[in-house]
Amino acid sequence: MPHTAIEAQVEDGGSASKPQRIIKLSKTTDDSDKKGTNKRVKDIEICVPIVYGTIAFYLGRKASESQSHKWTVYVRGATNEDLGAVIKHVVFQLHPSFNNPTRIVEAPPFELSECGWGEFEIGISIFFHSDVCDKHLDLYHMLKLYPEDESGPQSTKKPVVMESYNEIVFPDPSECFFARVQNHPAVVVPRMPAGFSLPVLAPVENTNEKGRGDTKDHPLSQWFLNFSEADELLKLASARQQVQAHIVKLRRELSVIDGMPQPLKPASSYECT
């Protein structure tokens, strides 16, 4: 069985980076004795929609020179579901002026709060569970403390929120991972084509002993932004329609010009159109 999996990978690989791929595959067989990680589910991608960003509050009267804002950087599920089933830990890389700028958050909710005065780029590295992926993912987010419109004094009640939506895609996930998250609310798993069957493994385990890892009732959840693809889809659809209509028109014109054997007469009836 493992042989067929490897063969399939070699066949549907990409352009001829044959040698590199062969080496990569031997690595896989070497370091994973775990059952299920060798087997991958083909032609299916698991998608985890996430939102990451910062929320910053002005401290107002309690502000000092070096600590004017209290901010939180986080990675949450786009629907506020628990990401702990997918993410093992997150490493936030802060500005070197912070103590221990490399902060590791090992359990959901994956967030970090700090006090400071400056805006800088925060590095967010997401590490996944071993059956999910052995490569980590790097994201970057600019911490924003000061609101767009600088009119008037900053409010301590209304924070500055900067969130980005993105989706983590796992092409060809391992069978083990697939089975584990098949019905997990934080993960988008396409339905298997009919006829396929996977061994039914234990349902999602909540490995977070501290309690729930979801952010539905998070203290900051009232500031979370809503990301709906509907608007964007609508706009894209209408834009495409316009472009397509224009293309049709141009094509017609081109064919008219191609069909014309003689150059146009200056004062012919065609000009009236």
Partner 1 sequence: MDAKDILGLPKTPLPIPQEKKSRPQKDSQRKPDGISREVYALTGGVAPLMPSIDVSQLKRRPPSDEKITWQWLPFTSSARKDDLQLYHWVRVVNGVPPTGDYSFAKYNKSVDVIRYTDEEYEKYLTDPKWTKEETDQLFDLCERFDLRFIIIADRFPTHRTVEELKDRYYSVSRAILVARAPSPGEVAGHPLVKEPYNVTQETERKRALSMVLSQTKHQERKDAEVLAEAKRIAESRMAARAAEEPDLPVPSDVGPESAEGAVGPGDTISPANVQAPAAAIAPSTSVIADNASTLASLRMLRVYLRTYALEQMVQAASSSAGLRTIKRVEQTLQDLGVNLKPKVPTKAVCAEHLELRKEILTLLNLQKQLQYKEAEGSSFRDGSYGDMPGTAKRSQRAADQDRTFVPDTISFGGDRVVKREQKRKGPGRTSETPSSPAGAHKRPRKMKASDL
Q: Would you say 139 or 198 has its CB closer to partner 1?
A: 139
Q: Would you say 19 or 152 has its CB closer to partner 1?
A: 19
**Which residues have a Cβ under 8 Å from the Cβ of 129 and sit 6 or more positions away?**
85, 86, 87, 88, 177
Least CB distance from residue 153 to partner 1, whole Å?
30
Picking from 184, 186, 180, 174, the residue whose alpha carbon sits closest to that of residue 200 is: 180
Least CB distance from residue 16 to partner 1, whole Å?
3
Least CB distance from residue 155 to partner 1, whole Å?
25
Least CB distance from residue 84 to partner 1, whole Å?
17
**Distance set, CA 112 to CA 74, 119, 220, 236 (Å):** 6, 15, 12, 36
Q: Would you say 135 or 157 has its CB closer to partner 1?
A: 135
**Distance set, CA 220 to CA 48, 49, 158 (Å):** 21, 19, 11
Q: What span, in angstroms and rounded, lies between the C-alpha atoms of 68 and 66?
A: 6
- SS3 of 7, please? helix
Least CB distance from residue 133 to partner 1, whole Å?
4
Q: Would you say 50 or 160 has its CB closer to partner 1?
A: 50
| Full DSSP string of 231-266 | HHHHHHHHHHHHHHHHHHHHHHHHHHHHH--SPPPT
Q: Using alpha carbons only, give the angle 85, 86, 92 rounded to the nearest 5 degrees.
A: 115
Q: Would you say 125 or 208 has its CB closer to partner 1?
A: 125
Q: Would you say 121 or 203 has its CB closer to partner 1?
A: 121
The one-character DSSP state at 101 is -
Least CB distance from residue 94 to partner 1, whole Å?
12
- Residue 26 has a CB neighbour count (10 Å cut-off) of 11
